[in-house]
Each structure stands twice: as structure tokens, then as C-alpha cells.
Copies of this chain bind each other. A is one copy, B any other.
Amino acid sequence: MSEQTTPANTASNAGSNATGNAASNVPSDKNHLILTGDRPTGPLHLGHFVGSLRNRVKYQSQYKQFIMLADAQALTDNMDDPAKVHNNVLEVALDYLAVGIDPAQSTIFIQSQIPELTELTFYYLNLVTVARLERNPTIKQEILLRNFERDIPAGFLTYPVSQAADITAFKASLVPVGEDQIPMIEQTNEIVRRFNRLAKRDILVEAQALVPEIGRLPGIDGKAKMSKSLGNTINLGATSAEIKAAVKMVYTDPLHLRVEDPGHLEGNVAFIYLDAFDTDKEGLQAMKEHYVRGGLGDGMVKKRLEGILQDMLAPIRERRQEYEKDRGQVLQMLKQGTERAREIAARTTDEVKAAIGLKHF
């Protein structure tokens, strides 16, 4: 999967309005543990920011939040380029810190450094049939997307089981996912129920999908999805010049040829981004009306957008640069987070193994 298809960061690509809020009908207290994360395969971008990073900054004071750098999962379709995955672990961690995720409030950890997650995966594989995995709509979709056909790596077919291991290891009750990833949570809960039945007590906890109310943030080219592989992103670490250049390329209304023509808002990426980031809703509303009426050029719209993005991304970029100066310290933070996370995962794994007769000493 690309970094867009994990539960966590599918959510991270969602969002086309300014709220950036997740569903409001979810409980909000520290008894709830959120598991979220990203496959470290490239720099995070505005799509991630709108759909998930922003939410995480909010969630960290409301819930116990665990954020996983899913390097092991990233290998399920990046086994040919493990160095890319390795290097992006720290890069994505830098993005986290830059947007304001606070390691004192959120536990950030590296998936591959918690062997217990592979143990749980291993045993859960006995609780799921091959046919059930093949029926998973998300997996079906992704197999098509990747032209895998019969050459699906076994690790790819079974990655929903690995996700179930991640979620249950922390007894997460809330998992932010995009609409299209809900089947993954259902698969997890099937495993939870089957295991608890087997264990004759409720060791594992069912998870609830935390689906954001907002859709995806489109790419600057107007394609539905902002994605590194499509080359239509604005990265969180983008320089001022890169932001300027990207905004210039932002897709607007192809029928809006002359300033005096009436413009259209539908599919107009400049306005979709303004909806997502402009906090002056009244000013924005006035601009929209002017644009639709005719007499407002794309240049003016883009100027407003660029100003907002520059203002928003400058402090993120600066904080990122600060953190970049001491990568050793960031790694130290990841080590501590991983140790904290591992303790919990180990406790669950211990319970799971004891329940299926795998405790001897």
C-alpha cells in the first residue's frame, strides 16, 4: 500500500473543508486509546495535515494516543526498496514534531521494533480463512490498484491480520480510518470476537472506526487524491519557493478564461484548499461570490491561497528545521516511545499466549 491506504493515513487524506474535525459522535476521554499512524514511505503533505495530523494534535489532549510508524507494514509492498522505508521513519517523525504532535502527550513508536506485533499476527492467522482475506473489499481494491493479480505477496494478503495485531496489542478502542478502510476494522473485530470466544473471556477489545466527516483533499492538479506517487502534493516541509510554484499550478476552473467571465467553484482546487485552510470565512465567502459573479481573476484567488499556505507552513517548516538539527534526539524520543508502546504490547501478547496454552516458563 502507498502511505495513503493505512487506516491512519487514509483518514489523513480526507478533508475538503476547514473543520478538519473527525466525527463528532465519538466519546472523548482518557480511557479511550487511539491507534493511528503512517507508513513511512515519503514526506507527509497537506493531505495528511488536513485529514489526520491536525486531528492528532487535538486528540492528544483528549485521548491516550499512540502513533505508529508502520515500517513493517510498509514493507508488504516495498520489499524491493527497504532503504526508502528505513529513511522515512525519521523523516515522518520530524513531520509529526513539526506539526505539533507532542511526544509527552502522544506515544510515537516504530512498528518493527515491537516483535510482539508479529507474534500476535502469527497466531491470529489461525483465526482467519484465506477466503475471508480474499473477500476483504479494501484488499480486493488494492490488489486491482497494484496489478498484483496472482502475484500477491502473502504478506500483502495477510496485512489486515497484521493491522488487527497492531490495534489489539494496544487494546485501542478508536482507530481513525477513511470510509474505504472500515472493512479493515471489521476484520479486526471478527478476530477479537473469535479470540475472546476461544479464550472464554474478553481479553481483546473491539475497536471503533473514527471516520472523519470530511472527504479527501485533492491534489494540486485536481485529481481526487493528493499523493506522492502522482506528484501532485504540497509537502509539509516545502520551501517558500516550492509553495509558490505549487500554488501557481493549482487547478482552478478551465472555463474561466477571462477575468470578467463567471467562474465555477466545483472541482476548483484553489477554493477547496481555501475551504480547508482559510480561517476568515466571511472574507472567503465574499471572494467566492465575486468569483462566481465574474470579475475576479484566478491570480487573486491564488494570491490569497498562497499567503495562507505560506503563513501556515512557515512555522511548521521552521520547527522541522530545528528538530532536524538534532536527529539523535528525535531518535531518542522514538526509542522512548517504542519502549513505552512495547510494554503494553508485551502485556497483551502475554495474555493472548497464556490463553492459547503458549506459556510454559
For the residues of A in contact with B, the DSSP-based class is helix
Say whether A21 faces chain B, with CB atoms less than 8 Å apart: no
A125 touching B112 by the CB < 8 A rule? Answer: no
Q: Which of A123, A130, A161 has the most CB of B within 10 A?
A: A130
Within 8 A of B (CB), among A87-140: 87, 89, 110, 112-113, 115-116, 118-119, 121-123, 125-131, 133
B356 touching A82 by the CB < 8 A rule? Answer: yes
Number of copies: 2
Within 8 A of B (CB), among A277-335: 331, 334-335
Contacting chain B: which of A12-20, A149-157, A255-263? A149-157
A83 touching B357 by the CB < 8 A rule? Answer: yes
Q: Which of under 10, 10 to 19, 20 to 34, or 35 or more describes the interface residues of A? A: 35 or more
Per-residue contact bits, chain A 193-204, to B (CB 8 Å; 1 contact, 0 not)? 000001000000
A7 to chain B, nearest CB (A): 19
Within 8 A of B (CB), among A187-224: 198
B118 touching A72 by the CB < 8 A rule? Answer: no
A357–B84 alpha-carbon span in the complex (Å): 8
**Cβ–Cβ < 8 Å partners of A129 in chain B:** 150-154
Say whether A71 faces chain B, with CB atoms less than 8 Å apart: yes
A318 to chain B, nearest CB (A): 26
A163 to chain B, nearest CB (A): 13
A119 to chain B, nearest CB (A): 5
A323–B82 alpha-carbon span in the complex (Å): 49
Given the interface pairs A129-B154, A158-B154, A331-B360, the reply to whether A198 lies near B79 with Cβ below 8 Å is yes
Of the candidates B71, B79, B118, B161, the one whose C-beta lies within 8 Å of that of A154 is B161
Q: Which of A122, A155, A162 has the most CB of B within 10 A?
A: A122
B150 touching A82 by the CB < 8 A rule? Answer: no
Chain B residue with the shortest CB-CB distance to A117: B122
**Cβ–Cβ < 8 Å partners of A75 in chain B:** 123, 126, 356, 358
A121 touching B123 by the CB < 8 A rule? Answer: no
A80–B126 alpha-carbon span in the complex (Å): 10
A358 touching B112 by the CB < 8 A rule? Answer: yes
